Amino acid sequence: MTSPKEDRGAVSERDGVDVLGEIADQVRGCPKCELCRTRTNAVPGEGNPRARVMLIGEGPGFYEDREGRPFVGNSGKFLNALLAKAGLAREDVFITNVVKCRPPGNRDPLPDEIAACAPYLEGQIAAIDPDVIVTLGRFSMARWFAGERISKIHGQAKRDGRRVIVPMYHPAAALHQSSLRGAIEEDFERLPKILAEMERSRESEAARDAPKEAQSKLF
Ligand code: SF4
């Protein structure tokens, strides 16, 4: 049900893998903002290059910086449990962050750091072309929901062209505030329904476009 997409004609698996690999290489050597000075490892992101679901957090923390991988440590374990509630495994999704290098002391990423890192995130979104983007926390939410409050809009899917964006609390925040835990769990439990609706929508788009394609081949 929630397996990676098969053939949407957007980008071939090989192309997607190549592009993601190139982006990861660029990120690991990136000098574009001050965070390059204090990182141990850059964290480009990881997961399925043909994922239907892409999750975007804020930035690497202590353990992520040490390992060069996103969402390890306690928030990573909690994220794995949340994904399981949606019938998903880490191998099914792609996980990354708004900034790819750890802000010192886990401070918030600064606007100029987010702006400098944005082309990498945009490149990853274009290469993966997910059906659903889940924003985790307010910094990734701000990319699609400027001026909104997460407490008001979490879990509410918003259409953005061919895909939907679902804002959610950051797992680390939910781990520290038990009042948010139920909310993020419920939001993840709604993901299968959102994915099913996206699948139906893509199928009806394909059915609608099929006669046009057949007609264009006649001329
Ligand atoms: S946070 Fe992004 S822009 Fe800044 S150094 Fe790391 S990869 Fe480059």
Predicted confidence (pLDDT) per residue in 75-107, tens digit = 999 999 999 999 999 999 999 999 999 999 999
| 27-77 pLDDT tens trace | 999 999 999 999 999 999 999 999 999 999 999 999 999 999 999 989 999
pLDDT for 176: 86
Q: Which domains does the chain have, with CATH numbers?
A: 13-217 (3.40.470.10)
- Helices 111-128 and 13-28, packing angle to 10 deg: 160
Whole-model pTM above 0.85? yes
Question: Sheet holding 53-57: strands in order across?
Answer: 46-47, 94-97, 53-57, 132-136, 163-168, 158-160
Confidence of residue 213 (pLDDT cuts 50, 70, 90): low
Residue nearest to atom 6 of ligand 1 (CA): 101
pLDDT for 218: 60
Are 175 and 78 in contact by the 8 Å Cβ rule? The answer is yes
Residue type, 133: I
Share of the chain above pLDDT 70, in %: 89
> Is the CB of 99 within 6 Å of ligand 1?
yes
Q: Which atom of ligand 1 lies nearest, measured to the CA of 44?
A: 7
| 111-125 pLDDT tens trace | 999 999 999 999 999
Secondary structure of residue 108 in the 3-state scheme: coil
Tell me: pLDDT of 148 over 80: yes
Question: For all residues of the chain together, what is the average pLDDT?
Answer: 91
| 179-195 pLDDT tens trace | 899 999 999 999 999 99
Share of the chain above pLDDT 90, in %: 79
Q: Which atom of ligand 1 lies nearest, measured to the CA of 27?
A: 7
pLDDT for 35: 98
> Is the CB of 23 within 6 Å of ligand 1?
no
